[in-house]
Structure 1
Amino acid sequence: MKSGFGNTKGSTPAFNPRAKPLKRPSQARAIFTVEAIYQAFVRIWQRDGWSGLTTREVALEAGVAIGTLYDYFPSKEALLSGYIRHALEGLLLDLEEQVVRANDLDWRTRIKRLIRLTCEPDEVRQPLFNHEVFVIEHQFTEPKHHRRLFQELSQKWREAFAACGDLPTQPTDVCIDAWVIMAWGGRRYCVTAQPTAEQTAAWLSEIEMMICSRLTSTE
């Protein structure tokens, strides 16, 4: 058997098949119910941690029947998977509304806002984007989920740059993809390494300077 970084057989943790949400809410009442479930989920996680969290307790906290919760989430891993996707959709919506559609911004302000929204840790918008989640994410996240998010983020970044009518030169898609990897990968590593606030601020400032300098380069 081959060994090394290219070999994943026997070393990749098994994905839990019950970690997928069963359906997404579409009607207003269902959306309200699932939002209440997510809010209860976050409160219990922050209070009791992952080990102390149960679907029954989440249902009780949210004021819904356990059967109603199971209509959407067959396990607490599925609930976490649904919540993470919900939070990331919120990030994409923020990028759309505050960056892409913000017609009153000059290109430097728009791009700096794009970088900040993508990279800056925000416990209010994404309270469970933390190290504890990363430790167990193999239970509810498959490689295709990471690829999909990368594609969605890259597309949103392309739209942001396209919205910069005053930008001297538009970057290529290859360049934008590289910046997304740099920005989002750096954010994930910050969650793991937990740098100080000063170190995080310096990292964000450096990314802004690198990208803005690249955009104004004549080479």
Structure 2
Amino acid sequence: MKSGFGNSKGQTSSLNPRAKPLKRPSQARAVFTVEAIYEAFVRIWRRDGWSRLTTREVALEAGVAVGTLYDYFPSKEALISGYVRHCMEGLLQRLETEVVQAHDLDWRARIRHLITLTCAPDEIRLPLFSPAVQAIEHQFTEAKHHRRVYDELSQKWHAVFAACLDLPERPADTTIDAWVIMAWGGRRYCATAQPAAQAQTAWLSEMETMICGRLAGTL
């Protein structure tokens, strides 16, 4: 995977070039440094809001030199771009380890966990989807970036269904893709509309009932 959100070949980005992370950490020490930067970024965002957040303040909060932060993130837009990508990679990794590689789960348990992680992951820091993030995402993302996320998530869902060797019948690829749109699109809309917790719980329950019922042949 490329750093941040990569450009598609032949396309010209409409974003400020400074809105993109410069590189990815590869050595353990660099990974630790970037993680500390993300932690500081989230603390300051929660405390002061986006408009008052500065890269210098993030560097001071993280205990790193401003120049070190700029080695990775030339602007706060680049910082949130990298952070969103970091969150997405974390979700994809959880899907791989907790669902695709969970050989002790039967297909029902595997699919329920797939839906839960996709629709309502445990986000202990800044939510990947929140009104605050969505209000500014035009500053650091484009349509092709959303497409990339969809493609990666769809590939992971296909891998999950391929791992369900005990399924009565594997759904068509087009059906799996439709379920990805329903799950991911619903999650994004919940962040926008902010329905009551009860309504969100009901939505998640209906997603599980519908998909599992369809797989079991009861719907």
After TM superposition, the score normalised by the length of structure 1 is 0.91
Q: CA RMSD in A?
A: 1.4
Q: CA deviation at 1:129?
A: 2.6
Matched, 1:65 2:65: yes
State the Cα deviation string for residues 129-161 of structure 1 (Å, max 9, x = none): 311110110110011111111011001101111
Aligned 8 A contact 2:42 2:125 in 1:
no
* 1:124-135 equivalence runs, <5 A: 124=124, 127-135=127-135
2:116 alignment partner in structure 1: 116
Aligned 8 A contact 1:112 1:208 in 2:
yes
2:100 alignment partner in structure 1: 100
Matched, 1:52 2:39: no
| C-alpha separation in 2, matches of 1:121 and 1:194 | 16
2:4 alignment partner in structure 1: none
* 1:14-163 equivalence runs, <5 A: 15-120=15-120, 122-124=122-124, 127-163=127-163
| C-alpha separation in 2, matches of 1:131 and 1:55 | 22
| C-alpha separation in 2, matches of 1:22 and 1:32 | 17
3-state SS in 2 of match to 1:184: helix
State the Cα deviation string for residues 59-96 of structure 1 (Å, max 9, x = none): 00000000000000010000000000000100001101
| C-alpha separation in 1, matches of 2:137 and 2:61 | 24
Q: CA deviation at 1:215?
A: 1.0
2:196 alignment partner in structure 1: 196
Aligned 8 A contact 1:158 1:173 in 2:
yes
Unaligned runs of 5+ in 2: 1-13
- The 3 A distance-change label for structure 1 pair 57 and 125 is closer
- The alignment of Structure 1 onto Structure 2 pairs a total of residues equal to 206
- The 3 A distance-change label for structure 1 pair 165 and 126 is farther
| C-alpha separation in 2, matches of 1:136 and 1:15 | 13
| C-alpha separation in 2, matches of 1:162 and 1:140 | 34
After TM superposition, the score normalised by the length of structure 2 is 0.91
| C-alpha separation in 2, matches of 1:28 and 1:174 | 40
